């Protein structure tokens, strides 16, 4: 399986970079993993709704440019479906079984994802109704992908 994580912005916090690197290394025996970062749009602190929309559109264009036409896209969105770890594992297993072995998880910037990117997504996934920093979401996502792979192989993993 080939899994991409596309994200807006560059990680700067060492603890997040180290945590993601550790899980990416662990995932190497399960899947071909790739983390792709696109630049975030510089924006003033107090933006109008129209300016916020423009930021989402520009960041969305950068993300869309990195997506192959045949990749299965999972957009992380607060209004998406909420799954258990087992449901994520089952979904990844079914995708691989039915020939959709290229999957891209997409994490937007601080303002979320553009409507164009959400329309391109094959599904929207939520990790809960709470707002999490998009940088932290990368670490949470890569850990959950690792957990899913272990579940699918019947390997033990802490609960």
Closest CA to 107 of 77, 83, 67: 77
Which positions make up the binding site for S-adenosyl-L-methionine? 76, 108, 127-132
Residue 49 covered by a domain: no
Give φ, ψ of 88 to 5 degrees.
-65, -45
Which pTM was predicted? 0.94
Residue 48 covered by a domain: no
Name the domain count of the chain. 1
Contact (Cβ atoms closer than 8 angstroms) between residue 148 and residue 30: no
Residues of the chain with pLDDT under 70: 158-159
**What CATH number has the domain bearing residue 82?**
3.40.1280.10
The whole domain housing 88 covers: 2-41+59-153
Residue 7 covered by a domain: yes
Q: In the prediction, which pLDDT does 129 show?
A: 87
Parallel/antiparallel/unpaired status of strands 32-38 and 72-82: unpaired
Residue 46 covered by a domain: no
Q: Which residue has the tokens 């994580």?
A: 5
Q: In the prediction, which pLDDT does 132 show?
A: 83
Residue 30 covered by a domain: yes
Residue 98 covered by a domain: yes
pLDDT in tens, 99-117: 888 999 999 998 999 999 9
Contacts for 85-88 with beta carbons within 8 Å, 24 or more apart? 85/144, 85/147, 85/148, 85/151, 86/151, 88/125, 88/144, 88/145, 88/147, 88/148
Which positions make up the binding site? 76, 108, 127-132
Quote the CA–CA distance of 145 and 89 in Å, as a whole number.
8
pLDDT in tens, 61-82: 999 999 999 999 999 999 999 9
Residue 27 covered by a domain: yes
Residue 72 covered by a domain: yes
């Amino acid at each position: 399986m080939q899994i991409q994580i596309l994200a807006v912005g560059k990680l700067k916090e060492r603890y997040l970079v180290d945590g993601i690197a550790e899980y990416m290394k662990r995932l190497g025996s399960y899947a071909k993993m790739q983390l792709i970062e696109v630049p975030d749009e510089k924006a003033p602190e107090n933006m109008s709704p129209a300016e916020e929309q423009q930021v989402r559109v520009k960041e969305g264009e950068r993300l869309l440019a990195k997506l192959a036409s045949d990749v299965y896209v999972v957009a992380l969105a607060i209004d998406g479906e909420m799954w258990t770890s087992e449901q994520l594992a089952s979904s990844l297993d079914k995708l691989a079984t039915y020939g959709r072995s290229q999957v891209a998880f997409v994490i937007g910037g601080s303002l979320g994802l553009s409507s164009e990117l959400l329309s391109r997504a094959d599904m929207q996934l939520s990790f809960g109704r709470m707002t999490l920093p998009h940088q932290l979401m990368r670490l949470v996502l890569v850990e959950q992908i690792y957990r899913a792979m272990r579940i699918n192989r019947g390997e033990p993993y802490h609960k």
